[in-house]
Structure 1
Amino acid sequence: MDVTQSLNLMIRKLEGFHPLSSADKDLLQHHSRTIREIPARQDIASEGDRPDFVYVMVSGFACRYKLLADGRRQIMAYMVPGDFCDFQVFILKERDHGIATLSNCKVVQIPAESVLELTERPAIARAFWWATLVDEATLREWLVSIGQREAEVRIAHLLCEMLMRLRAVGLVEGNSYSLPLTQADLADTMGMTVVHANRMLMSLREKDLIAIDGRQVTVIDVRRLEEFAGFNPNYLHLQAGSTPKPAARQAGDDKNPTLQPM
């Protein structure tokens, strides 16, 4: 997926929240010219940084996280192409969490003053608000998982979510997608130990709900997995019928960490 395709994806996702005029789209393109390439396992933005920029995912996979004083980590969100990395934080004096790449990434870097100019356009502002509300809805769903869902169901629910989100940006072939997570990443997302995360993945595989080959996840039976997870996608507010063609795999993808159960 090239930069132009990814920027068009960002605009299309925003249009899914609110219609944009040609002038709105041109302005978004104008302010989305600065692209950063960031290697895997590096911070896009660190806790304590002054948020002078808003970042939009062009390619790759990233996460929002918080570190405790003893080094333990909680992952609070995943970002895929077309997603904003904390649109609203540019009004703060410093970041209260970090954003890190989980694979090689490209991001659009939009200065805070440009975001202010963009939000002077009513349609763009409304689309930005919708994008922020979807982020908040997703965080609420993750909180429900951590607080109330059993460990195996938590992971099943996440795999259902990623299937839908990645399909919406053309990164699913059939019911298979690449998930560049280690088991430590998954454990830090789900609030469990690495050993327990491994056991839950093995259990889902033994139930013939999923297959995992390295970093490739295949949902064997989508309906059964959704029923097992109690998955309702309404919180994602995805537009039906807008799925792009699958994106080509990037060179070096197979070298990324694997989720494969032991």
Structure 2
Amino acid sequence: MASASHPYLSGNENRQWYAGLKDDDNAYIQAIGFVPKQYPAQTVIVNQGDESNRIFIVESGWGCISHDLAGGQRQILDFALKGDIVMPQSYSGVAGETFVAQTELSVFEGSGKKFFLALANSPRIASLCLETLILQRALVAQHLTNVGRRSALARTAHLLLELKTRLDRTGAVTHKGFACPLTQYDLADALGLTPIHVNRMLRELRERGLLEFRQGYVRILDDAGVRRFAEFDKRYVDN
């Protein structure tokens, strides 16, 4: 497990990805040039279409990954949380997504090319990267199902339950719920809804006694009930 002296991999010590890493792997990641950086809230770290060869490991805060449209609209693809690895660039080196600091964001940042070359020298780092890709694919599958097939009410509940499960792995969830910096505009861009529609869905979830989202805090009112309603199976996040 990563130690405090190797912060590059301490962003989420509960993740299985990091449990198998040894000191020589941590030293190797430092040797390939990952450095700590901090970005103020709402900073655009990588812009879609820019040439980028950077990889980020989130140490603290929330990031937002989105695909931007010419008319100024965006589809939020995912939120980058503590311990997540963000790889916004495509194989050609051009960023296919925009990566923004949703809150003040601390990351460890390094060269994508050097990171991928490191995979050949460390099976455990290669395993970490593979686990990241598997999780990202599972998240994308659920997000597509949300937008394409789930009702507006179910998809709203499902996304908030997913965030809760991911945050729980970092120790950021209490028995009552979790702090959430997202606005209704952010949720709308993630869910394919309008902000007004999101407001109605949150109100209905609260009135049904399932969950509530007030003043930047999500509180689960009926854990079993909301999971059943949203058809939420946390194994795609936990595995």
The aligned residue for residue 144 of structure 1 is 145
Letter in 2 for 1:7: L
Q: State the secondary structure of the residue aligned to 1:118.
A: helix
Match of 1:105 in 2: 105
Please name the residue that 1:241 is paired with: none
**Is 1:95 equivalent to 2:95 in the alignment?**
yes
**CA-to-aligned-CA distance 1:115-150 (integer Å, 9 cap, x gap):** 034212122112211211110110111000100000
Sequence identity (%):
27
TM-score by length of 2: 0.90
Q: Displacement of 1:4 after TM fit? A: 6.1
Using the size of structure 1 for normalisation, the TM-score is 0.82
* Aligned ranges 1:3-22 → 2 under 5 Å: 7-10=9-12, 13=15, 15=17, 19-22=20-23
Find the residue that maps to 1:99 and give its secondary structure: strand
Quote how far apart the aligned CAs of 1:32 are.
6.5
Contact 1:178 / 1:217 at 8 angstroms: preserved in 2? yes
For 1:248, the equivalent position in structure 2 comes to none
Taking the aligned partners of 1:220 and 1:181, their CA distance within structure 2 comes to 19
Q: Which amino acid aligns with 1:126?
A: S
3-state SS of 2:96 partner: coil
Q: 8 Å contact 1:6–1:81 — kept in the other structure?
A: no
Match of 2:83?
82
Q: For 2:176 and 2:45, how far apart are their aligned partners in 1? A: 30
Work out the CA distance in 2 between the residues paired with 1:7 and 1:200: 37
Deviation string 1:194-230 (CA, Å, 9 cap, x unpaired) is: 1111000000011111123310111112111101100
Q: Structure 2: give runs of 5+ residues left out of the alignment.
A: none
In structure 2, relative to structure 1, the CA distance for the partners of 1:25 and 1:162 (3 Å cut) is same
CA-atom RMSD in angstroms: 2.2
Distance 2:107 2:44 in 1: 12
Where structure 1 has 5 or more consecutive residues not aligned to the other structure, the ranges are 239-262
Counterpart for residue 252 of structure 1: none
Distance 2:79 2:13 in 1: 19
Q: Given residue 106 of structure 1, which amino acid in structure 2 is its aligned partner?
A: S
For residue 27 of structure 1, report the CA deviation from its aligned partner: 2.1
Following superposition of structure 1 onto structure 2, how do residues 34-49 of structure 1 map, counting pairs within 5 Å? 34-49=35-50
Match of 2:154 in 1: 153
Q: Secondary structure at the match of 2:224?
A: helix
* Partner AA of 2:157 in structure 1: A
- Alpha-carbon displacement from aligned partner over 1:142-198 (angstroms, at most 9, x marks no partner): 000100000000010011111110010111111311111111111111001111110
**Partners in 2 of 1:50 and 1:7 — Cα distance?**
26
Tell me the equivalent position of 1:198: 199
